A and B are shown apart, each in its own frame.
Chain A
Amino acid sequence: MSTTLATAPAPRRTAALLDLARFEARDLLTQIPVLLFGLLYVLNTADNMFSGLVGKAEGMDAYPVLQNVDRETQSGALLLSLALLVCVNRAALRSRRQHTEEQHDVLAMGRARRTLAHALSVVPYAALSALLAAVQFGWAALKPGAAGHGSVAELAVAPLAVLLSGALAVLLARVAPHPVAPALFLVVLYLVVLVLNTLTSGAHAVQWLWPTVGEFSSDPIPSGLLGRPAAWHALYLAGLTALCVALAVLVAGGRTRALRAVTVLALAATAAGAVGQAPGDSARLRAAREAAYRAPEKLQSCVDRGGSAYCAFPEWRGWTGHWAAVVDRLQADAGGRAATVRLTVRQRIGEVFDLSSDSTALPARTPDQVTVGTRWGGNRVPEFAVGVASVLVAGDEDTASSLCDARVVTAMWLVLGSDPDPLTTFRHLRVDDSLSGSGVVLAPTGSLRVSAQQTEVVKRLLARPHDEIAARVKAHWTELTSSHTTTAQAAKLLGVRVPKGADDCARD
């Protein structure tokens, strides 16, 4: 018997590595945590896109602000990342757990390259994450009402977090080869960050060590005022991912020059990213936010529509037509000077302390100026209408914030009189979601208190034909917008029965 000594030509080693990564990626797909959390991730993305699957349909999804939408793509990926951290770690320890190390360690693909393949096995899941982020963002960006600008670096966070979970999983498998290591690691990491947060009072640099930093407030601000170090953070995540993989491969026996170079580069990238994202809000940024809060007109340009001026931050110019439609509708039902007064609708933001805090712009004292916020759609439309109506009846927002007379009735009828479903809108406008008793109605710069008696009068007005009431409003505009006219007198002027009892508004 004779055997040829010639062996097969050297196989394509990279192709073999990718084959193994594909095999492991497919195996991950059979793991229940990956399936379950992956499904939750997809559902979460769908919920964000269609904004109504879990009962939060307010209509604001038609007017997305893209500098917020990009961040909304991040948190869902943490679910998948968590599952991958556990399952990739298990897969990387499979040979150890199932005693196949001796068989597999003598095969052509050594432990270092197998480690690399495990890290690469999450690439399809990172691609899925990138796809979901792109679809979610693209879906929002393509809506006609979309405003603002997204950031590629913010969109990169979700796939980078997925890649990082795979990298951490293999590093843990090589450094602490025990199945509970990922859980212990997460607990220890959480405690370390908690302690660091406590010691540093939630320092910016510490917060940004996490893969995702949500920082959500209800009202968006111009993208130029965000001050999020998204690009540095993306570099930090990419560097940390590469560093974890490189260290895992080194521990697994990898000793090539290229690996050492990658380790050094990854360390440099991680350090650069961590340092770059650490400083927090600069004095210049804080000054710019202060300027946008105190003197937004310096950053805005105005357009004239139907006799009023609409001043918006550059990213929101596309919404002025929607604001004008509301103003026109309300002025059409108003009387006296208010029917033709030139309003200045100015977009304003609250004082920005950080991106996680909410603050509302204070009522303006400038006559005939109406504040509009940075959100639109859903309840924000009638809330803006409340702001417009308040200024039409009271002259300015500051005065309108303390009305307790016929003007509340007049303003509320202006808001609701031409609404296709006025009682539903009225209910949604009231904080208590009711249609009886006294309540508070939201407006862009605060709220308008509506007494029980005023609520009753408004409801009775809404039960009457619009044109009939509109004619009375126009005819008695002077009395209806006088601070000396009571709610009861307004009811009489508008031809509806006066509710029994005293106006509780007057008692406050």
Chain B
Amino acid sequence: MTTIVSAEGLTLRYGGTAALDGVSLRLSPGVTGLLGPNGAGKTSLLRVLATAVPPDRGAFTVLGHDPATPDGRLAARRALGYLPQTPGHHPDFTAFEFVDYVAILKELTDRAARHREVRRVLEAVDLGEVRGKRIKRLSGGMRQRVALAAALVGDPGFLVLDEPTVGLDPEQRIRFRELIAEAGEDRTVLLSTHQTEDVAMLCQYVVVLAAGRVHFEGTPAELTARAAGRVWSGTRRDPGARAGWRTGDGTFRNVGHPPAGAQLLEPTLEDGYLLVLDTRHDTTETAA
């Protein structure tokens, strides 16, 4: 498998706080989910990999280019599509103008080809019909798709998406999943999210980040497998469980170290994630 992004020992500090603390990872084609609690350093990692901020220590390459050098940074940026956590828009631009503007900033200089590409990505995110509408007249979900189209324009080899489904209604989230899945068919997508179900449904790989460190790298199945034999059903929340909650059928789902004779349940990716987080002070676990 080709390595598209390779990072070694990335460290980023904001004042005295380490947002990233020696993060190393490798990303291959497909969709990689980046999971972690608030403050885990997900956005910081994405911003570093998107070349928005340079790391204080460590190095990384994107498609073989080293962003630490001006030429390498330019080459990396040409290969990059970035959708930040709260993307801005130019409300007076039409959807077409906004994506065209971004395409120009990506230095797509053949005007006819660029316009074809803008139309293509707008069609891809289902905005072909409203491309002439001003962004201020579009719904929140449509604006998010305009931002995704802007990230996709120019067919970047590496797509960085920071919680793109936040604030979307279920239908829009499903549509977004489809779009991200399509995008991941022929490029490397790094998707930061709080939603374990997004990862379960979309991602071929998953990285769990907590306190600026990588705690897990592997496939969603491998993360799920972390919870094998660690999830059980009971009539109450087990005091020894790491987590437990009442489910819809009235029984309790407990995650942790089951007591002898407990009725074990099929684990989910969320269970695995919870358990990985629970061991976050341990050394990094790599399933692969």
Contacts and interface: CB of A to CB of B under 8 A. Distances in A.
What's the dominant secondary structure at chain A's contact region? loop
Interface stretch (A11-19, A140-148, A200-208): A11-19
Contact of A3 (B52, B91, B187): B187
B88 A108 contact: no
20 contacts: A1-B1, A1-B185, A1-B186, A2-B2, A3-B2, A3-B4, A5-B4, A5-B63, A5-B64, A7-B157, A94-B90, A98-B89, A98-B90, A100-B88, A102-B47, A103-B102, A103-B151, A106-B77, A108-B74, A108-B77
Given A8-B78, A102-B52, A108-B78, A19 B111 contact: yes
Contact of A100 (B52, B75, B87, B185): B87
Nearest to B90: A98
Contacts of A108: 74, 77-78, 105-107
A114 interface: yes
B176 interface: no
Contact of B77 (A5, A8, A13, A107): A107
B188 A103 contact: no
Given A106-B51, A106-B80, A16 B109 contact: yes
Nearest to B50: A106
A106 B52 contact: yes
Given A98-B88, A106-B51, A7 B109 contact: no
A3 B107 contact: no
Contacts of A15: 109
B100 interface: yes
B53 to A, nearest CB: 10
Given A23-B101, A105-B52, 4 more contacts: A3-B186, A11-B78, A98-B88, A103-B84
B82 interface: yes
B79 interface: yes
Contacts of A11: 78, 107-109
Contacts of B101: 23
A3 B109 contact: no
B59 interface: no
Contact of B90 (A100, A105, A107): A100
A293 to B, nearest CB: 59
Interface string B122-142: 000000000000000000000
A107 B106 contact: yes
A463 interface: no
A30 B63 CA distance: 40
Which secondary structure dominates chain B's binding surface? loop
A434 interface: no
Contacts of B188: 3
A151 B17 CA distance: 65
Interface of A: 1-3, 5, 7-8, 11-13, 15-16, 19-20, 23, 30, 94-95, 98-109, 114
Nearest to A100: B88
A94 B2 CA distance: 39
A103 B106 CA distance: 11
B220 interface: no
A16 B78 CA distance: 13
A106 B78 contact: no
A256 to B, nearest CB: 10
A103 B87 CA distance: 7
A99 B105 contact: no
A222 B143 CA distance: 64
A289 B105 CA distance: 57
Interface of B: 1-2, 4, 28-30, 47, 50-52, 63-65, 74-75, 77-80, 82-84, 86-92, 100-102, 104-109, 111, 147, 150-151, 157, 185-188
Contacts of B75: 7
A98 B146 CA distance: 15
Of the candidates B29, B101, B102, the one having the most CB atoms from chain A within 10 angstroms of its own CB is B101
Contacts of A98: 88-91
Contact of B104 (A5, A12, A19): A19
Contacts of B104: 16, 19-20, 23, 109
Nearest to B29: A1
A12 B108 CA distance: 9
A334 to B, nearest CB: 73
B109 A19 contact: yes
Max chain B C-beta neighbours (<10 A), residue from A2, A98, A102, A109: A102
B276 to A, nearest CB: 26
A101 to B, nearest CB: 8
Contacts of A7: 63, 65, 75, 78-79, 157
Contacts of B52: 102, 105-106
Nearest to A19: B104
A94 B64 CA distance: 33
B83 to A, nearest CB: 8
Given A11-B107, A13-B107, A16-B109, A95 B30 contact: no
Contact of A103 (B64, B74, B82, B91): B82
A205 B92 CA distance: 44
Contacts of B77: 106-108
Nearest to B151: A103
B107 A16 contact: yes
A12 B109 CA distance: 7
Contacts of A13: 107
A492 B1 CA distance: 121
B105 A107 contact: yes
Q: Pick the 4 closest A-B CB pairs, nearest first.
A: A99-B88, A100-B88, A16-B107, A107-B105
Nearest to B85: A102
A95 B4 contact: no
B203 to A, nearest CB: 13
Given A3-B188, A11-B109, A107 B102 contact: yes
B151 to A, nearest CB: 8
B105 A104 contact: yes
Contact of B29 (A2, A94, A95): A2
A300 B101 CA distance: 63
Contacts of B51: 106
Contacts of B100: 23
A495 B16 CA distance: 111
Contacts of B108: 11, 16
Contacts of A114: 105
A12 B101 CA distance: 16
A123 to B, nearest CB: 16
